[in-house]
Amino acid sequence: MKITRDVIEYVAHLGRLELDPHEIEEYTGQLDSILEYMDKLNALDTTGVEPMSHAIPNVNVFREDRIVESFSVEESVGNAPERTGSFFKVPPIIEVE
């Protein structure tokens, strides 16, 4: 499939993207080469190849839950730029009118 400038402009319009003419040309070439590579992959004979979700076998990668000693309140807020008691003081993010 050949990607054209019109396709790139249409997709950019759908995504509400403002692209420069230089970017349109660049993306046209890049997407076209990606789809050409996909065509090569689709041409390969994959009969007898089992589908997989990962290239290597995956096992449970979670660590064991353990109860460990945590930081004290003073250690937690000790390096805070500003604090109020045992809490971090941060600037307000909601302005009330």
Task: Encode pLDDT of 26-77 as tens digits.
Answer: 999 999 999 999 999 889 998 888 888 888 887 887 888 899 999 998 888 8
Q: Kindly state whether residue 79 falls inside one of the protein's structural domains.
A: no
Q: Kindly state whether residue 24 falls inside one of the protein's structural domains.
A: yes
Q: Specify the residue for token string 């040309």.
A: 25
Residue 97 confidence (pLDDT) above 80: no
Q: Kindly state whether residue 48 falls inside one of the protein's structural domains.
A: no
Average pLDDT, the chain: 89
Question: Positive or negative, the Cα torsion across 18, 20, 23, 25?
Answer: positive
Task: Encode pLDDT of 16-35 as tens digits.
Answer: 999 999 999 999 999 999 99
- pTM assigned to the model: 0.48
Q: Kindly state whether residue 26 falls inside one of the protein's structural domains.
A: yes
- Identify the helix (H) or strand (E) that includes residue 88: strand 87-88
Domain that holds residue 23: 5-42
Q: Kindly state whether residue 94 falls inside one of the protein's structural domains.
A: no
Q: Kindly state whether residue 72 falls inside one of the protein's structural domains.
A: no
Q: What is the DSSP letter of 64?
A: P
The number of domains in the chain is 1
- Residue 24's CATH number: 1.10.20
